[in-house]
Amino acid sequence: MSSFKGLFKAGQTVYFYHPQDSWIVGVIESVDPNNKKGAYLVKPNPSLNSDPISNENPLLLDEDLLFPYSDDLQKLDHNDLLAMSELHEVTLLTCLRNRFKKDVIYTMIGGVLAVAMNPFKWTIPYVQDDKMDLYINQSKTVMPHAWSIADNAYRIMTETKQNQSILISGESGAGKTEGCKTVIKYLSKLSCSITNDEKIRERASKIALKIQECSPILESFGNAKTQRNDNSSRFGKFIIMQFDKDGVILGAFMYNYLLEKSRVISQSTGERGYHIFYQLLAGCDAKKKQELFLTKPEDYACINGGKCFKVDGVDDAKEFQEVVKAMNIVGLSQEEQDSIFRIVAAVLNLQNLKFKPKGDASEIENRTVLNNASSLLKLEAASLEKALTSMYVTAGKDLILKGLSPAKACDARDAFSKALYDATFNWIIRKINQNLDASKDHKVDNFIGLLDIYGFEAFQKNSFEQLCINYANEALQGVYNNYTFKRDVEECKQEGIDATAVTFNDNVECIELIQKGVVNSITDCCKSNSTDFDFLDNIKKLYFKKSKFFDASPLKKEEFILKHYAGDVAYDVNGWIEKNKDTLNNDLFKLTKTSKCSFISALLEDNGSAKDTVAESFRKQLNVLLSTINSTRPHYIRCIKPHPAKKPNMFSTTEVMNQLRSSGVLETVKIRREGYSVRMPFDQFYHRFKVIHLQSSSRKDCKTIDEMKKACEEIIAQVGFDKVKAQIGNTKVFMRHYAYSDLEVIRGQKLIQYATIIQSSLRSLKSKRELTHLKNLKRQEEERIYYEKHKEEIERKRREEEERMRIERERIEREEAERKRLEEIKRQEEERIAREKREREELIMREQIKLNKLKEIQMKKIEELKRIEAEKEERERIKRELAHFENGKTLAEEPTSVRIWRVDDGKIVGFSLSEARKDLLYRIRTDQLYTLEECKILIKEVVRVMKNDAERDFKNLLFLSKFRTEVLYPKPIVSNYIPESHGLDGFFDSPEIKKLIYGKVVIKAIDPSNTKESILVAKEKLKLLVLNINKNIVKLIDHALIQRKERLLIIATILEELETSSIKKYLHPNELLVVMQKIKQQQHQQ
């Protein structure tokens, strides 16, 4: 038998796994070379352990339960645990402890999992809300945080449009609820910050506030003080935060799981019922208390079992006001709030009911309490008493009313209270969803789901509730294992590593055992009226010694054991059938339907005879949850309670290790260790193990990555590792943990070997140096003796050499001075030639500029002549137009019609305002009026001409005004030169003309029964109407001409300003000059 050669030696300090104290530091007392299983005898070293040790006796341990101790481990600090060269339980635990001591409570494991240590203090600077902007702005200096996980999930969602989920787990008191609120607050602020639209941001902020205000309500009705946690969530929840295509928050929807209904009626010592009971009793005023028949907490049986009515640092009255405020914000009406508080008060009073025997049945002792409870529920007191103390049972085809014993009546009372409270809690969830769910009114493009659920539980006595909780955790761990393993394999593929040899312990069989074995079996037992022990016998027959995940102890007849990923748990089956049925007396259900309060009468849901058992219902909920999570990209926050004392700055190695195991963090380590757990970049691997490489042919020190990669390949080949033990990736060396240990042993051996060689070399080098030193001393002495003997000859030769060197130095200096003189002459000549060339070019340039100026002057003169010629032509045209204007004026006095326009296809040809005016005056005087149809055509043409004139004047005026203001001098001019009506403001005086423009003039038909005289009157009225229309057209034209004249006067004024200024030469002749001359002539003639 060959002797065992291990990694460790006697006297060596190591970490070792202690059954009670987890990983602690000890010293190896002895090594048994013939027994590999228990080769090491290790004794704890109290001086090197921060926690007290339960047992200091030596232990015989296998090598797998040891880990090398070094002072460097006490400095271990990584933001991401996967950045460590070797991922081991010891390194993980040490790193978390070192960071916790520095108040660094978040540590990443890869990009999707964060370990969050509950500090039990929220004064740590980097977790304050004012630091949130650093994460939103993606500062590179930020520490790991729950915000980091939330930020990563949000940005992946907006970039890839893939739904995300964040799964927050941990034991009671680990900080899950606070972690969930932290993530919600961050996502709310981040999603509101991405839009610049103030209305969208305001709407999103209101929605975000509503989502955040759900927390006080849910905590009030679903949280309670326990021995482990002062604010323990007694239910699980999955919140879906809904976002639009841009990532702006739209709303939310939530699911709740496994409310602990038993806490409604009783609690353990040192614990409390749900917060709302104490908040309602402390926060109501005297009048409200009287209405709800409330007194003080000590008076109610269902909340005084724990004998704990106050919590340090908690003001129940203030908390109640916060709950009411939150209800108002979320959208619960005052009537709904009153109904909810009535039910809470009713539960308190119901649980005070006492029963006494009455023959074979029972009756209620305290009638006042009965009246109070029935009044709060708006029920008849007699009906409530009857439903609690009796029930209908089936006897053949008949129903018989059977009285209940006091114990059975108490059970009915408890079931009724639990059902009312549970239904109220579910109603609150539905109401919140109704008010926050955006899918009814908006398109929800993506969501981020937040899961806050119980962590894995293993107590001294574990019942049906623990099975449901651990079933959920087992299933979620399966999702996590699968996702983590896939990511691990994906990294291997990216590095070019063959991952076919990488496996991990799958827990699918354990999940199937619970889902199809335990749940199906207990459901069948409930339907067949079997007992708890029938159920236990069934599952033992199915799985005992047939499944590696199932076991049972022959000494404990009431238990079975499931081997979960986090450890073995023994379950006590007493009461499981009743807990799984969770039935309510049908008489009590029917009783609630008779309540005069509509809220209460509709509260309990009728599931009929096909109601699922608790286990069935939870399995369906869990399958939906898992399906949703599997459709998303998951992220994880594992919350850890560092010490059971719930005080800051306290760290228990055992406590933390147990939670790391139960939360699946150690399973992550296990997956990595079963794969290539050691992953070292080429440079790090080379510099650590190059001592092995020194024997190879290539002894040069590697500088580049390619050289280091080649050296790494040579080292792996040199030690004889196959692909199962180690592989070379694109940037890293991948090794199994045992291969890494072997490599460390080889490295240690090489270091010892080379240390011997180095020591021998150093001794040889020292001897050589001493010999060289003696030779130098001898040589120096011989030189001194020779110098003394030939001193004069040596001095003479030295002087001769110095003289020769002086003569040579002077010669070189003369030659250098001559060279510099010649170079200076050459430089000056080159500068003269360049200067003369530059002067010639400048002369040519000046002559060219003069020539260009002469050309420019000549062109300006030509332009001036053209302008003068244009002005001359323009003046000639003005004279011709003025002559024409004078002729028009003379014609206006002629007594005959001057109509020179005609109607062609409904359009007027050859029309002008002045001619139309003359023609109308002539026709009015001679009683040759235009007909109604002609008036319509004429009016439309007048309006068209007026608008055209006004628009042209406007255009000219705007041009001149702008030119005058910007070019001549910046001074405001008279505003509102031309009314916006374009001269039409006097046009609407006549309703008849309005009718012509906007519709036809309606002439009523003459009644045949009328007399001839009435027909003549109608004709006269029509003629008068036509006359008035002709006159109004004249007025319209007059008004238009007057406004036209006013506009032209303004234009002429501006033109005069321009004409008298030095800027006149820049004006081009145009129609405005003609207008100016016309106006001047008119003014002169007047």
Q: Check whether residue 532 and residue 601 sit in a common domain.
A: yes
Q: 334-350 and 275-283 are packed helices; what angle lies between their axes, rounded to 10 degrees?
A: 110
Q: Check whether residue 908 and residue 1012 sit in a common domain.
A: yes
- CB-count burial class (<10 Å; 0-12, 13-18, 19+) for 230: middle
Q: In terms of DSSP bridges, do strands 726-728 and 633-640 run parallel, antiparallel, or are they unpaired?
A: unpaired
| CA separation for the pair 723, 744 (Å, rounded) | 18
Choosing from 49, 69, 89, the residue where a domain stops is 69
Following CA atoms 965, 969, 970, 974 in sequence, which dihedral angle do they give, to the nearest 10 degrees?
Answer: -50
Choosing from 891, 911, 932, the residue where a domain stops is 891
* H or E element in which residue 17 lies: strand 13-18
Whether 447 is covered by a domain: the verdict is no
- CB-count burial class (<10 Å; 0-12, 13-18, 19+) for 40: buried
Whether 568 is covered by a domain: the verdict is yes
Q: Check whether residue 937 and residue 992 sit in a common domain.
A: yes
Residue 1061 phi, psi dihedral angles, 5° rounding = -95, 170
Choosing from 856, 891, 926, the residue where a domain stops is 891
DSSP H helix total and E strand total for the chain: 31, 26
* H or E element in which residue 739 lies: helix 737-789
Q: Go through 45-55 and write b for each residue having 16 or more CB atoms within 10 A of its CB, e for each that does not.
A: beeebeeebee
Q: Check whether residue 813 and residue 871 sit in a common domain.
A: yes
Whether 543 is covered by a domain: the verdict is yes
CA angle 948, 953, 954 (to 5 degrees): 100
CA angle 946, 952, 953 (to 5 degrees): 90
* H or E element in which residue 952 lies: helix 932-963
Q: Check whether residue 863 and residue 997 sit in a common domain.
A: no
Binding residues for ATP: 170-177
Q: Are the C-beta atoms of residues 929 and 986 closer than 8 Å to each other?
A: no
Whether 1014 is covered by a domain: the verdict is yes
DSSP annotation of 478: H
CA angle 511, 499, 484 (to 5 degrees): 40
Q: Summarize pLDDT for 683-730 with one digit per residue, the tens.
A: 888 888 888 876 544 556 787 888 888 889 888 988 888 888 889 998
Q: In terms of DSSP bridges, do strands 633-640 and 164-169 run parallel, antiparallel, or are they unpaired?
A: parallel
Q: Check whether residue 907 and residue 884 sit in a common domain.
A: no
Q: What's the confidence (pLDDT) of residue 910?
A: 63
CA-closest candidate to residue 336, choices 434, 219, 256, 428 = 428
Whether 290 is covered by a domain: the verdict is no
Q: In terms of DSSP bridges, do strands 907-909 and 902-904 run parallel, antiparallel, or are they unpaired?
A: antiparallel
Q: What's the confidence (pLDDT) of residue 1081?
A: 56
Q: Are the C-beta atoms of residues 272 and 229 closer than 8 Å to each other?
A: no
- In angstroms, the first-to-last Cα distance of the chain is 142
* Farthest-apart Cα atoms in the chain, separation: 174
- Residues that are catalytic: 172-173, 177, 229, 232-233, 455, 457
Binding residues: 170-177
| CA separation for the pair 1072, 1052 (Å, rounded) | 8
| Residues in the chain with pLDDT values less than 50 | 1, 696-697, 885, 888-896, 898, 967-990, 993, 996-1006, 1062-1072, 1075, 1083, 1085-1086
CA angle 165, 170, 176 (to 5 degrees): 65
As a whole number of Å, the CA-based R_g of the chain is 51
Q: Check whether residue 574 and residue 483 sit in a common domain.
A: yes
Q: 932-963 and 913-926 are packed helices; what angle lies between their axes, rounded to 10 degrees?
A: 150
The full length of the chain comes to 1086
Place of tokens 């910046």: 970
Whether 80 is covered by a domain: the verdict is no
Q: What's the confidence (pLDDT) of residue 4?
A: 55
Q: Check whether residue 979 and residue 1016 sit in a common domain.
A: yes
Q: Check whether residue 917 and residue 1050 sit in a common domain.
A: yes
Which residues have a Cβ under 8 Å from the Cβ of 956 and sit 6 or more positions away? 1051, 1071, 1072, 1075
> What six digits make up the tokens of 1045?
């004249």
Q: 665-674 and 653-662 are packed helices; what angle lies between their axes, rounded to 10 degrees?
A: 70
| CA separation for the pair 518, 533 (Å, rounded) | 13
Domain span at 553? 470-585+596-606
Helix (H, G, I), strand (E, B) or coil at 322: helix
Q: What's the confidence (pLDDT) of residue 666?
A: 78
What is the pTM for the complete model shown? 0.65
Residue 732 phi, psi dihedral angles, 5° rounding = -135, 165
Q: Summarize pLDDT for 389-418 with one digit per residue, the tens.
A: 998 887 777 778 889 999 999 999 999 999
> What six digits make up the tokens of 211?
């989502």
DSSP annotation of 486: H
Q: What's the confidence (pLDDT) of residue 594?
A: 92
Distances from the Cα of 959 to the Cα of 88, 600, 965, 1055, angstroms: 85, 79, 10, 11
Residue 64: CATH number of its domain: 2.30.30.140
Whether 376 is covered by a domain: the verdict is no
Helix (H, G, I), strand (E, B) or coil at 873: helix
Total Cβ atoms within 10 A of residue 826: 10
Q: Check whether residue 934 and residue 851 sit in a common domain.
A: no
Q: What's the confidence (pLDDT) of residue 504?
A: 66
Place of tokens 């761990």: 477
Q: Check whether residue 868 and residue 938 sit in a common domain.
A: no
Q: Check whether residue 1013 and residue 1069 sit in a common domain.
A: yes
Q: What total number of domains does the chain contain? A: 4
Q: Are the C-beta atoms of residues 378 and 600 closer than 8 Å to each other?
A: yes
| CA separation for the pair 1043, 893 (Å, rounded) | 22
Whether 965 is covered by a domain: the verdict is yes
CA-closest candidate to residue 598, choices 265, 307, 339, 222 = 339
| CA separation for the pair 174, 180 (Å, rounded) | 12
Residue 932 phi, psi dihedral angles, 5° rounding = -60, -40
